[in-house]
Chains A and B, each alone.
Chain A
Amino acid sequence: MALSSKTLKTRIRSVRNIGKITKAMELVSATKMRRAVKATLAARPYAAAAAETAAALAVKQNGGAIFFTPRSVIKKVTVVILAGNRGLCGSFNTQVVAAARNALRSRFGSELPAISWIAVGKKGLALLTKSGEKVSAELVKADSLEKAEEFFALGRYLTKQFIDGEIDEVMLAYTDFRSVLKQTPKLKTILPISSNLEAKLPSYKSMTEFMFEPNKTVVINYLVPRLIETELYQALLESNASEEAARMMAMKNAAEAAGELADDLILTGNQLRQAMITREIAEIAAASN
């Protein structure tokens, strides 16, 4: 009996220690999340304006430039997937990977094109490799905020591959930050640039053609990689904010669970002790009779 109460004590202590660690991690995540959310919200107007320009060009360029026309046959698709570097954030990493694979399957059905994944973040790579997907490149990312410049090379590379016909479509899998409690994994096409914002922009339909400064080719060639970078950067910010929010919630739940478990164990310990006392008294009473 004595041994079991000692084991209980050790368990209570270790559960409490875990609780302390998860609580600390929750606080760290909360701080990181606040910063990430601030950056995400600050960048949203820029990304939205860039998306509008892209849509406007798409509407006005239909049938023209290569960047705006969806290809009739899609054989090769590149998916850039943004996940975290570390775990302990609930189902954040698994969800973004699962959502991307599901979305691909529901879009292409059984005639899945050749998909090459570009994983940003260690966990994305690990999960994809485990499920047998072909990962063609991995981009190392820092844990927290990044500069937009880090995506310049990727944006240019994807655009070039797309022009050369090496890729028929570029997609981006990321987690959209809605609120601390809600993050939605998403998969969207970033190349060709779609005109799906058209509905929201009635003014673009009626307007006359764009003029370009210095000229159309130069502007389009400069703009398209730019727009891709902006999409990637914004998605990264959203993903970072989501990851920290998910981690904070996971750690909050873990800390609470640890607290409950410790309470349970204490209760069991007390019952055990009380049972021993009662038995001893009963023994003494029996002996004295």
Chain B
Amino acid sequence: MKTIKLIIATPERVTLEAMVDQVTIPTTTGEITILPGHVPLVGIIKPGELMTKTNGIENSLAVAGGFFEINDNEVKVLADSAEHATELDLAIVEAAQARAEADLAEARNKEDVDYTALAANLERELARGKVARKHHTKHNVHIDSAGK
């Protein structure tokens, strides 16, 4: 079966470089799932969950801001930040999310703040939260049911 070469890079590191069967990218107009042999495409990424599928195994990452380029069966995702679900600690992410919300709420009463930057920050934290929670529930199912 044909696969796609996927590269997810941020200014800090290359988060993922792998061959995948399909990849779903959050875009400004919704979501786009890319299968092998896709036409060349350039698009903008929205903060959210990026999903890859390899041999039936799903893997999700939290990505924020940036763009992607599809060309010649190669998908390049250039994001401001990208983290594997396994790297996200739910507690830390939730704290960061609460902080981002508080910052934004506080900013409403002030004038000389970069509102867009704060809003983008919150959006990113929400995306991370979504991915972290999903991963958390998926992997703690046994513990929860055994405990009750």
Question: What residues of chain A have their CB less than 8 Å away from a CB belonging to chain B?
Answer: 39, 42-43, 45-47, 49-50, 52-53, 56-57, 148-149, 203-204, 207-214, 218-219, 222-223, 226, 230, 233
Contact = CB atoms under 8 A, between A and B. Distances in A.
B42 A213 contact: yes
Contact of B40 (A46, A207, A218): A207
Contact of A46 (B10, B32, B42, B69): B10
A187 B35 CA distance: 41
B11 interface: yes
A231 to B, nearest CB: 12
Nearest to B32: A213
Contact-residue bracket for chain B: 20 to 34
B95 interface: no
Contacts of A211: 39-42
A212 B42 contact: yes
Contact of B78 (A49, A218, A219): A49
B61 to A, nearest CB: 15
B100 to A, nearest CB: 15
B44 interface: yes
A52 B67 CA distance: 13
Nearest to A237: B11
A49 B9 contact: yes
Most buried by B among A39, A43, A46: A46
A52 to B, nearest CB: 8
A205 to B, nearest CB: 11
B9 A53 contact: no
Contact of B43 (A50, A208, A213): A213
Nearest to B44: A222
Contacts of A214: 27-29, 43-44
Given A53-B69, A204-B71, A46 B41 contact: no
B77 to A, nearest CB: 9
Contacts of B66: 226
Contacts of B12: 39, 42-43
Given A204-B71, A214-B27, 18 more contacts: A42-B14, A45-B7, A45-B14, A46-B14, A49-B7, A49-B69, A49-B76, A50-B78, A53-B42, A53-B67, A207-B40, A207-B71, A211-B39, A212-B42, A212-B43, A213-B28, A214-B29, A223-B44
